[in-house]
Each structure stands twice: as structure tokens, then as C-alpha cells.
Chain A
Amino acid sequence: MPVAVDLNQVIFDVLSPLLGKFTAQKAVEIACQRIKKTPAELTIADLPEVLAGLRPMLRTLLGEHLAARVLEDIERRGGGAA
């Protein structure tokens, strides 16, 4: 039976050690605004769009390599467990 994943929490857990808790929270909110949802409404189906929304921001703040690593991590933890 698939395990429900709180995607909002997954993204926060991955981003906060790097970007800080406030930036992580805001980054999720901004990515959610693009798909017209709140962080609490995120589902695994939204993962590709959320990742696409986070990419430019992470690329600017962390650089290409680390941004790619972070997005992979979110994808693995979020999508992999579903």
C-alpha cells in the first residue's frame, strides 16, 4: 500500500538546511502560487510543476549543480515513496 507523502514537508526538510527555514517556506509558497494551490493542497501529481517552479530560484541561490542535486532529492523523497 503506498505511503502518503506530505510534499510540502518534504520540500521544507530538503531546503531548510541549505536556505534556512523562512526561505524554504517562502520558496514552497511561491512555487505553489504558480499552480494556484496552497502548500497544504500539494499532491505527488504536482511534483513536476513544483520542481519546475523551484528550479530558477535554487539555481540563483545555490548554483546549477547543487540545485539539480536538491531537486533530485525532493523528487526521490517525494515521488519515490508514493
Chain B
Amino acid sequence: MSCARLTLGLLAASAVAVCGLFLGLCLGVSEPAGLLVARGLFALTLAVELCAFGLALAVRSRYQPEEPNRRIWTLFAVFLGVRLLAQLRLATIYFDLVPGFVAGSEGLNLFYISGLRYLYTLSDLCFTGALVVAIRAWRATGLPFRALKRDYGLMLLVSLLAVATWALAGNLAILSQEFKNVAARQMQIFRLVAVSLGTLIACLCLVVRRYAVQMGGGALAGVWNAVVVAGIAHAASFLLLGALSRTWQTGAEFFEQLSLFVFAGSFMLAILRQRELTQAGESPG
């Protein structure tokens, strides 16, 4: 069994187990117990993202500076690295580990809570860049990759879902007030920026998915299909949060986190598959 398949099995089993535990606790014990599971899932996602970052750096180093794959994997590595910083910041907030000098200063605290949140935006821009570079590189090969009308229809549908989330933005701000009660308005603005970028990423993923389908299978399509699942799960996390936050806040946080776990796991899978490809090129005879 390949490393990628084993990882996929482990991640899928973890997601199912955590879902069962969450629903069991929420239905049978209490909401706070469910929230604890959501935070545990956050920590697990963080660990997967850390591994993915290390592996992405290793994959990147296997390409020469002038190769398109080097640019793509550099952008993916920066995306994961900056996202990891943002996630570590969030971990300090979730687990009450914010440094004392930050917590003690109103200005620093506001920057830490609201300003550094835009690390996610920066990382998403790198993800977007990587997808754009990949699409351009593939089209430059002369192979007949092209998006179809139905892909544009799907993009429209995804964009409409984003607009729906935009309409629910008030709920997102309320949710943010609950966990720290700081700068709810900034949170609302950030969420809208994040949803917009997430939608762009999802649309680009739909193009990449079409190209992967047009390949007709193969190892390279396997890599990019996993990236597509990651991108869609990433966008879905915002939509789930927006859709559920009015009626079930603990569930909203859990299912947002579950989407992000699927995102991290899928990205890890893509990196492992890409690593297997690069190793095939380097192994002797």
C-alpha cells in the first residue's frame, strides 16, 4: 500500500470517528463537550498542516529553479507556511495562550486578533497564484485543455453560494463576538474577504478539475484532483459556518473545522502523490 493511500485511509477514519464523537457528545452529553471535540479537531488539523508544510518544502526542492513546477510548489509551500502561522495564532486564542504583553496592550491585542487574521488572506493569495501558474503552464504545452460551459455554470453557482454567505455575514460577526468579543465588525469584513477569495479558489479548482478529467486518469490527475478537493473544502468551510451559525453555533464551528480537516488532509494527499511522482523520476533504473 502506498504512503498516499495509507494517509487517505487514516484521515478518512479520523474524520468519521471525530464526527461520531461530536454528534454523540452534542446529542447525549452537552454542547460544551461538543465544542471541545471541535477544538480537538482544530489541533489535529494543525498537526496535518504542519506535516503538509514540511512535505511541500521537500517536494519543491526536487525541482530546478526554472521549472514551472518549482513556481507552483513554491507558492503552495508559502501558502501552507503562512497559513500555519495564522493557525498557530488562532491556537493561542483558542487555548488561552496569547502572550501577556499582547493581551495587556489594547492596540497590540487588536492587531493580534484582527490584523494578523489577514495572514489567511495572504496565504489564500498564494494558493490562487499556484493554481493560476498551473493552469497557464498546462495551457502553454499546446495540449487541448479547456473549461466547458457547464464549468462556468458551476462557477456561477459557487459564486451565488458565496453571495448567500455574504447575506449571512451578520451571523458570522455574532459568532466572532462569542469567542472573544473583540472587533466584530473587523471580523465581518475579514470573513467577506475570505469568502470572496475562497470563491475564487473554488472557481479555479473547477477549471483544474476539468483539466484533470480531460487527462483521462493518470498519476498527475490524481495529484490535482486532491488539490481540487482541498480547494473546495476550504471554500465550503466558510459557507458551512455562514449557513449554520444562526441555528447551531457549536455545530457551525465543528463543521467549519471538519471542512478544514478535509482541506488539510486532501492537500497532504496531493503532496504525497506529487512526492511519489518526483521520486519515480529520481529512483535508479
Contacts and interface: CB of A to CB of B under 8 A. Distances in A.
Interface of A: 16-24, 26-27, 30, 56-57, 59-70
Given A59-B67, A60-B68, A64-B64, A23 B281 contact: no
Contacts of B140: 60
Contacts of A19: 215, 218, 220
Contacts of B218: 16-21, 23-24
22 contacts: A16-B218, A17-B218, A19-B218, A19-B220, A20-B215, A20-B216, A20-B217, A21-B216, A22-B214, A23-B214, A23-B216, A23-B220, A26-B144, A27-B143, A30-B143, A60-B69, A62-B281, A64-B64, A65-B62, A65-B281, A68-B281, A69-B281
A21 B219 CA distance: 11
Interface of B: 62-64, 67-69, 137-138, 140-144, 214-221, 277-278, 280-282
B220 A63 contact: no
Contacts of B141: 56-57, 60-61
A60 B144 contact: no
A65 B216 contact: no
A61 B64 CA distance: 13
Nearest to A23: B215
Contact of B281 (A16, A24, A30, A66): A66
Nearest to B221: A20
Contacts of B282: 65
A22 B216 contact: yes
A57 B215 CA distance: 14
Contact of B138 (A21, A60, A63, A67): A60
A63 B278 contact: yes
